[in-house]
Each structure stands twice: as structure tokens, then as C-alpha cells.
A and B are shown apart, each in its own frame.
Chain A
Amino acid sequence: AQSVTQLGSHVSVSEGALVLLRCNYSSSVPPYLFWYVQYPNQGLQLLLKYTTGATLVKGINGFEAEFKKSETSFHLTKPSAHMSDAAEYFCAVSVDDYKLSFGAGTTVTVRA
């Protein structure tokens, strides 16, 4: 079975500062890894995904994540936070190519 741990249920950053959201996974086989974002009263939107190949993955809205197998991590970063980045972010893992297991989510607030 696979699982995901997101460190920190709430992160507050200043506008223009680095955004770092931590995700660690456990899986007995090579996983597929995803980051999704959820804005209030909306569904989930895919930010980026790792399947195979390059371990540094670039997504939408300036986000990127790096797959580190040795650390079983897939942390999400953005160099400079924008007010529009305020949302809830979910890390997810899949080992069977369809069933997603989600972390508990991290809520990001951006201070002006």
C-alpha cells in the first residue's frame, strides 16, 4: 500500500517569498507522484506530475517539484509567491496507474 505525508497543514508566506510545501511518500514500487491545487469551492487542478524520466518537474503557475527517491520526497516549490497562490495544495501518489492516495493537504496563505 502507498501513503503520503504532507508536513505542515498550514503555511504562511509573504508575497514574493519562496513557497516550499513538503511531501513524503511511502511505496513499495516506483510511484507516480502528483501535486494538485484546490481553490475555495472548486475542484482539484493538476499542478504537475512525475511519472518517469527527469526528476525535476515543472508545472503550471511557476511551480516545480523534484522527485528524490533516496529521500522518498516530492517537495513543491515556487520561487516567488503571488497573492493568487493562496489555496490548498494536495500531494498524491499512485502505484497502479489510477487510484490516487492523497495527503491531508496544506493550506497556503500569502501575506501582502
Chain B
Amino acid sequence: GAGVSQSPSNKVTEKGKDVELRCDPISGHTALYWYRQSLGQGLEFLIYFQGNSAPDKSGLPSDRFSAERTGGSVSTLTIQRTQQEDSAVYLCASSPPSRNTQYFGPGTRLTVL
């Protein structure tokens, strides 16, 4: 079946601009996660959505970062006023109700000039 998809695959933006990254989880998966993979920090948890519960935003690095999940499916990660240190690969994952296995998408590579 179809896996987790993310768009765009690559995004180049200028410092100070806002960007939106999209994630389509696997159908039927109730949980959705965002992670960031950067050279300096490795793989970091950003945010977690589970059904209609309040999201766990504990990993978001600053208030410039936000995410929403509409209709319990598609999610958008928004970065406002991008900075060069935001350059990274942003990975999305989803998991079924059992939660203990996360399936990852191919990621969006963000470059901030």
C-alpha cells in the first residue's frame, strides 16, 4: 500500500520567508509525528498528534514553528521567518493505533539561504 508521502521533496527559501511542509500519513494511521534531521543535532522529535487529543509540541524549537493536522489526516508544518539554522531534512512519520511502530516518509530537505 501507499506509504507516508511528503511534499515538497526539496525547498529552497530565503531567510525571513515562511515555509509550509506537507505530510500525508498512511491511511488508517491515527498518530502522526514530525522530526528534524540536521547535521549538528541529529534526529530530533518535534511534534506528535494522536487522534483528537491535544498535540505534544514539546520538541518544537521556537515559536516560529507550528503544525496542524486537519481532519485527522494531512498535516502541515509551518516555519515562520526562516533562519539559516532551520536548514535540515524534515521527516514525517505515522503509526497505527498500537503506536509502537512509526513509518517514515522520505522527508523534505529545506535549505534557507
Contacts and interface: CB of A to CB of B under 8 A. Distances in A.
Contacts of A46: 101-103
B31 interface: yes
Interface residues of A, number: 22
**Which residue of B4, B43, B59, B99 has the most chain A CB atoms within 10 A of its CB atom?**
B43
Contacts of A98: 31, 33, 48, 50, 56, 95, 99
Contacts, number: 49
B104 A43 contact: yes
Using C-beta atoms within 8 Å of the partner chain, give the interface range for chain B: 20 to 34
Contacts of B99: 97-98
Interface in A60-112: 90, 92, 94, 97-105
B106 A43 contact: yes
B43 A102 contact: yes
Nearest to B3: A43
A100 B45 contact: yes
B91 interface: yes
Contacts of B95: 98
A97 B100 contact: yes
B42 A104 contact: yes
Given A42-B106, A44-B91, A94 B100 contact: yes
